[in-house]
Structure 1
Amino acid sequence: MTYFIRKATLKDIPTLLDFEQGIIEAERPFDPTIQDGQISYYNIAELINNDASEVFVVEKNNQIVASGYAKIKGDRHYLKHDRIGYLGFMFVHKEHRGQGLNKLIINELLNWCKERSVFEIRLDVYDDNIAAIKAYEKVGFKKHMINMRFNINDYNLEK
């Protein structure tokens, strides 16, 4: 059986909620600021229903095995573009990794953005998440800006 990509529906939410927890579990080792316990990153129903966003899923044998979304957002007034396509919720079930599904999802998301005349595409990835960075670079993304953090509690301030 081959993989099939389609737009997500509200009926997909239970599976997508499981994927969201998989993303959170994978990202916790990279980010000490993520709260413990059950948390949520996304309002999946809103992403599915909003005209400014789209969630795509990949199926195999009638089971969802991968996901991703694109959302059109406004950008800073001084840039050459006024809107960006922001990609997120990138998840491939571990049994299906290495099959090119991330690229399949990203291509669909990029086409969705292009159809809406949005050509500047952004996403966030943790600096230590080498596998994800390589996957995004393989599709054509380039590092652009580094977001740095500092926890003042971890530092001895001298007076």
Structure 2
Amino acid sequence: MNHITIRKATFDDLETLYRFEQGVIEAERPFDKTLKNELIHYYDLEGMITASHIELLVADLEGELIGSGYARIEDAKPYLQHPKHGYLGFMYVDPNHRGKGVNMKIIQALKDWTRSQNITELRLDVYHDNISAIKAYEKIGFSKHMIEMRLGLGEE
């Protein structure tokens, strides 16, 4: 396999990052009927590039961006043992490069950055029915922790 470099995202990457964002949203639409059926955005990508508490990374394969992910330092609930934790998101790999360990490389770099911030725990959200994503995260070492439930009152 060609050499994949994991690096910090820059403003020059924005066009591709916006495309990746839409890829994430389209992948999640089947799992979330509450998403609007129009162009939506999850992330403030420009803000994420400059924020000191966020590490936004891209996977670069010989000048082509093929993946992304971020870690964000968050305050933990006051009743938890740790005062802060890292939250992972925007995990995306171009469909032509899936199954090559790209996501694992991004997560490893995000784990390293999070540790360098003296953070001892990572969290992420994944849709309950997204079995392939759950299996991929479990393979890396994540475990199921809590299920968020919803009741749409207009859907009865």
TM normalised by structure 1 equals 0.96
Q: Deviations over 1:30-87 (max 9, x none)?
A: 0000111100000011111000001111111200000000000101111100101000
Aligned to 2:129: 128
Partners of 2:64 and 2:101 lie apart in 1 by 17
Q: Does 1:27 align with 2:18?
A: no
Match of 2:128, SS state, is coil
Partners of 1:133 and 1:15 lie apart in 2 by 25
Q: Deviations over 1:86-126 (max 9, x none)?
A: 00000000000000011100000010000000111100000
Q: Does 1:140 align with 2:141?
A: yes
Cα deviation for residue 10 of structure 1 reads 1.0
The residue correspondences of 1:84-95 to structure 2 (distance < 5 A) are: 84-95=85-96
Partners of 2:80 and 2:108 lie apart in 1 by 25
The residue correspondences of 1:27-106 to structure 2 (distance < 5 A) are: 27-106=28-107
Cα deviation for residue 144 of structure 1 reads 0.2
Unmatched tracts of structure 2, length 5 or more: none
The runs of at least 4 consecutive aligned structure 1 residues that moved more than 4 Å come to none
Aligned to 1:118: 119
Cα deviation for residue 154 of structure 1 reads 2.3
Partners of 2:106 and 2:42 lie apart in 1 by 19
Partners of 2:72 and 2:131 lie apart in 1 by 24
Q: Deviations over 1:5-46 (max 9, x none)?
A: 111111101100000000000000000001111000000111
Report the residue type matching 2:40 in the other structure: I
Number of residue pairs matched? 155
Partners of 1:114 and 1:19 lie apart in 2 by 26
TM normalised by structure 2 equals 0.97
Aligned CA RMSD, in angstroms, stands at 0.7
Report the residue type matching 2:123 in the other structure: R
Q: Deviations over 1:102-155 (max 9, x none)?
A: 110000001000000011110000011111111100100000001001112222
Partners of 2:38 and 2:18 lie apart in 1 by 15
Unmatched tracts of structure 1, length 5 or more: none
Report the residue type matching 1:103 in the other structure: M
Match of 2:72, SS state, is strand
